[in-house]
Amino acid sequence: MRLHRLVVVSVVAFTVGSACDCGRNVMVQMNQGAITLDSTDLDFGPVTEFTDAGRSIVVRNTGAAPLTISAVTIEQDGGEFTVVRLPGPIGVSGSGNIDLDFSPLGAGDDHGVAVISSDDPETPVVRVNLHGGPIWPALAFEPDAGFLAFAPTSMALTSKHALLRSAGGATLTVTSVGVVPTGNPDFSIVRPALPAVLRPGQSVPVQVDYSRSSRNTEGLMSVNSDDADAGRRTLRLLPDPAAQCSDQLDNDGDGLTDFPDDPGCSAPNDPDEYNDPECVDGAMRSCGSSVGVCRPGTQLCMSGAFYPCDGGVKAGAETCNGLDDDCSGVTDEGITEVCNINGCPGARLCIPDSGVAGGAYGTCLPVMTGNEVCNGLDDDCDGQRDEGIAETCMINGCLGTRLCIPGGDGGFTACAAANPATETCNGLDDDCDGTIDDVMPALQTCGFGVCARTAPACVDGGMPMCTPGMGGMEICNGIDDDCDGTPDDGLGTSTCGVGACFRSVPACTADGGMNVCVPGPQSAETCNDVDDDCDMSTDEGLTTACYDAGLPATRNVGRCRDGMATCAAGVYGVCAGQVGPVAEVCGNGIDDDCAAGVDNGCGSCNPNGLYVRDGGAITYTCCFGLVTLNVSQFQILSNGTTVIAGPSQNGAEMMSGEATTCPAGNVRAAASVSGGCTETFTIDGGFVGPNEWRGTYRATFTGTDCGCFGGIGTPCTSQSWPVQAFRQ
> Which residue spans of the chain are classified as CATH 2.60.40.10?
35-135, 139-306
> What value does the mean pLDDT take over residues 571-599?
81
CA neighbor of 292 nearest in space, from 258, 265, 264, 330: 330
**Residue 588, amino acid:** N
For residue 215, what pLDDT is reported? 81
CB 441 within 8 A of CB 455: no
CB 656 within 8 A of CB 636: no
> What value does the mean pLDDT take over residues 667-693?
89
Please state, in angstroms and rounded to a whole number, the distance separating the CA atoms of residues 228 and 135.
10
Please state, in angstroms and rounded to a whole number, the distance separating the CA atoms of residues 391 and 153.
86
CB 220 within 8 A of CB 235: yes
Is the domain spanning 609-727 CATH 2.40.128? The answer is yes
For residue 5, what pLDDT is reported? 30
**DSSP-based three-state secondary structure for 58:** strand
For residue 87, what pLDDT is reported? 93
For residue 602, what pLDDT is reported? 65
**Is residue 660 scored above 80 in pLDDT?**
yes
Classified by CATH at the fold level, domain 139-306 comes out as: Immunoglobulin-like (2.60.40)
What Å distances lie between residue 415 and 129, 428, 667, CA to CA? 47, 20, 116
Q: Strands 125-135 and 41-43: what pairing?
A: parallel
- pTM score, two decimals? 0.35
DSSP class of residue 599 equals S
Backbone angles phi, psi at 656, to 5 degrees: -105, 150
pLDDT tens string 421-438? 888 898 888 888 888 888
Question: Binning pLDDT at 50, 70 and 90, where does residue 19 land?
Answer: very low
For residue 396, what pLDDT is reported? 80
> What value does the mean pLDDT take over residues 497-501?
90
**DSSP-based three-state secondary structure for 301:** strand
CB 214 within 8 A of CB 193: no
Q: Strands 305-306 and 147-149: what pairing?
A: unpaired
For residue 8, what pLDDT is reported? 32
Q: ∠ CA 28-30-33 to the nearest 5 degrees?
A: 65
Sign of CA dihedral 417, 418, 421, 422: positive
**Is residue 127 scored above 90 in pLDDT?**
yes
CB 43 within 8 A of CB 19: no
Backbone angles phi, psi at 243, to 5 degrees: -65, 155
State the architecture of 35-135 in CATH terms. Answer: Sandwich (2.60)
Please state, in angstroms and rounded to a whole number, the distance separating the CA atoms of residues 429 and 171.
74
Question: Binning pLDDT at 50, 70 and 90, where does residue 603 land?
Answer: low
Say whether the peptide bond before residue 134 is cis (omega within 30 degrees of 0).
yes
pLDDT tens string 284-301? 777 777 788 888 888 888
Question: Binning pLDDT at 50, 70 and 90, where does residue 628 land?
Answer: confident
**Is residue 694 scored above 50 in pLDDT?**
yes
Task: Please state which of the ranges 45-59, 112-126, 575-589 shows the lowest mean pLDDT.
Answer: 575-589
Spatial CB neighbours of 701, under 8 Å, sequence gap ≥ 6: 627, 677, 678, 679, 680, 716, 717, 718
pLDDT tens string 401-424? 889 999 888 888 988 887 788 888
DSSP class of residue 712 equals T
Backbone angles phi, psi at 450, to 5 degrees: -70, -10
pLDDT tens string 156-207? 788 899 999 998 999 999 999 999 988 899 999 998 898 999 999 899 999 9
- Percentage of the residues of the chain whose pLDDT score is greater than 70: 92
CA neighbor of 379 nearest in space, from 387, 371, 388, 389: 371
> Which residue spans of the chain are classified as CATH 2.40.128?
609-727
Strand ranges (E), 312-462 = 336-341, 344-349, 365-366, 390-395, 398-403, 416-417, 443-446, 453-456
Q: What is the mean pLDDT of the chain?
A: 84
Spatial CB neighbours of 553, under 8 Å, sequence gap ≥ 6: none
